[in-house]
Structure 1
Amino acid sequence: MVHGGLIAATILLQNLSKNEIEELSLVPELEERVLECHENVEFRVRIAAGLVMGSLCRVYGLPMFKRFIPHVIKGVTDNLERNLDCQATETEASLRELDLAKERDANVSRSSLSIFHDTAGWKHLETWMKCMQQMVTNLDPHDFVQIERIEILDLIFKAVQHTNRFVRETSYDVLATLILGHGCYKDPSATEANYTKVARQLVQGLSDNWSQVGVISVLFHLC
């Protein structure tokens, strides 16, 4: 139900004009509800919430981006270092999902279950990162360079050094999006560009023992 509503909202935001959207009077409530959806237990609901936030940024530009970004930064920060109680709860939920996966397919491989278990506990972090990616993708690069980006970059630099390999891979993907959005240009109050910091991080990524992370880093160099 919630997932369907978010998908419907995304379709409307992507296909109607700004005037038509405002005639529906959905945006004020949607702004509040979409943030609440990031606490939903369903992975697909949180992903859909990110799509809505990205679509809102496309329609309303920089003001909407500034409205959401503090919440996204907090969501990523809080999930980078989860407390032990939260970790225990997530482990419990992961085990339940693993049992369901086994029931659905008795032939599911041990390696598949291992990968699933490795990722399940970090899904909230992944969805916050993907939400940030959607927002940056849908914001005009000329608007993006007007905001202070060093906090966002520093947060991604922490995420790409995460112990979980899938979190690192997602984080490099988000970093690539920031580069395409002129994220390396110097911040309004900075005296130098961010290229050096990004280049240093890419060098570290090339030495990552999880091959896909290294491949993504190589792609950065080729672009």
Structure 2
Amino acid sequence: MKLSGEMRAFAGRLGHDFARPALLIEALTHSSISSPGRTDNQRLEFLGDRVLGLVMAEALLEADSAAAEGQLAPRFNALVRKETCAAVAREIDLGAVLKLGRSEMLSGGRRKEALLGDAMEAVIAAVYLDGGYEAARAVVLRLWGARIASVEADARDAKTSLQEWAQARGLTPPAYVETDRSGPDHAPQFTIEARLDSGERAEATAGSKRQAEQAAAGALLARLETGT
């Protein structure tokens, strides 16, 4: 089986030359288009999640030999979470080669965070099965490199930090209120306001409620820390 020109270009962006091209095609095939003769990427996603986790656990231990488990865990979670996988997928334009059924294509599946994150994990598994652990490790470390270096900032959970800030001052936990929703159904934008019962509040907009809540909490923390 030969890869199309588009698939070869993607493999180049990925940084791996596939000896078994069928693995890459399987990794990029969503369940919405699978059939008895065409396997989707769900099994590879399961494996890729574990391969990514092992690579990241090793990388974090090597990067900071003095870090305790309590420090490593949030860094690890920040690096392997679905949003991070989807962000990496966007950087290598994975969505352009994702094989989707008509309904998913019409609903903007190539831009959906869950689909991109799942496919990125499946692609990691495809590299692992094609070239072994070292090949998969090399791909992951190259694509995630900058994130590993800056993970301390990314690992900060803004909602938890804001709740701790409020509790330390005898306030009730922050409230998160959806103030607006815009955009088409396949790519909604949520605006969330983080509020404290002392009157402070801040707002943020993102493509998911979870992201918007985290961004609003971060904005409110920044405002509290600077006094603005």
Give me the TM-score of the superposition, normalised by structure 2: 0.30
Decide which structure has greater strand share. Answer: 2
Greater C-alpha Rg: 2
Q: Which has the higher helix share?
A: 1
